[in-house]
Structure 1
């Protein structure tokens, strides 16, 4: 937010604090005094971002046993497949819960920007870099979850366990991927 009356200071407002930028002092940030004093859209956005961070981190932990190079659950390929599917689902939830608050704040900013009840001399909030970073981050998480699902669908898991765990058949077993044609 930049005031036409005082162009030397810019206000930045986020989910966790508000900052004031002046050329003389630099950036000064202050956390919000009370969570209950925040508008409802910021309270909802804070919860959704927290859920997004939690499900994204849990998705990272869940995908590790399902990766091909990790020597966990080697005898149970169906369990590896389930880990990857669960990680893809958690990544999708993380992407959606990070896109929702960014879009909600963008909507309220847009509505307030064109509100004709405000006088023209009053400064109006505009989009910042964090808004676009949130959109690209959420979109990246959705693409990552989709790629995990595509990897599971394209991989041909051998459902028959080997007869002897230490046999050369286990070490030299070939993995086949399904062929796809784009056009």
Structure 2
């Protein structure tokens, strides 16, 4: 159950990160009362007089390549994370679904772990890609020093946290499978040849 809760928390965090407009922030030194925020779906402008004003991107083709790739990967992350939870839930101990079918439960947990891993990696990849392009643009010497630069937003860190939580949750599913296999190991047979040999050796020792 711990794996389910960790995976669910990572999925919710990744879902929120996908739609937050706080992937990148920009504050102009010429006008300190204006703060710009950029996300995967829209940009926002914050001013003290008006507040927050958001506008969706007009054209997908006009977006930078890193944002286009990030949109696709974050969508894949949400889909695979949701499927991973649905697949792993019937395989948990205490759930009556698929009762009496330990092999099926084991396979469902493995499938849930694989999908959680895919979801976590497809969350970490776009966040890291946007972070890399932000750093490259920030230190680009071709831009004038007076021109404002994009910096990391809060959504970047929540995306990294959500991706790591999904990876950890998938790993815990595999740990649950290994523990289940260990608990289902057949006990050692006392009538085995090795056991008989040890018994005879013990009897000889007693006689001596």
Shorter-chain TM-score bucket reads 0.7 to 0.9
TM-fit CA distance, 1:158: 3.8
Residue 68 of structure 2 is aligned to residue 43 of structure 1: yes
- Residues 25-174 of structure 1: matches in 2 within 5 Å? 25-156=50-181, 158=184
Q: Alignment partner of 1:155: what SS?
A: helix
Displacement over 6 Å in runs of 4+: none
How large is the RMSD of aligned CA atoms in angstroms?
Answer: 1.3
Structure that is richer in helix per residue: 2
Shift of 1:52: 0.2
Shift, 1:19, TM fit? 0.4
Report how far residue 159 of structure 1 moved: 8.1
The residue number in structure 2 matching 1:167 is none
**TM-score scaled by length of structure 1:** 0.85
1:132-151 deviations in whole A, cap 9, x for unaligned?
A: 00001100101010011111
Distance 2:176 2:101 in 1: 17
Q: Which whole-Å deviations, capped at 9, do the CAs of 1:36-58 have from their partners, x for residues lacking one?
A: 11011110000000000000000
**CA distance, structure 2, for counterparts of residue 40 and residue 127 of structure 1:** 18
Segments of structure 1 that go 5 or more residues without pairing to the other structure are 161-183
For the 8 Å contact 1:78–1:159, the answer to whether it is kept is no
Give the Cα separation in 2 of the matches to 1:140 and 1:115. 33
Inter-partner Cα distance in structure 2 for 1:111 and 1:18: 20
Number of aligned pairs?
160
Aligned to 1:166: none
Contact 1:77/1:159 (CA < 8 Å) preserved in 2? no
* Alignment TM-score, normalising by the size of structure 2: 0.75
* Counterpart position of 1:3: 28
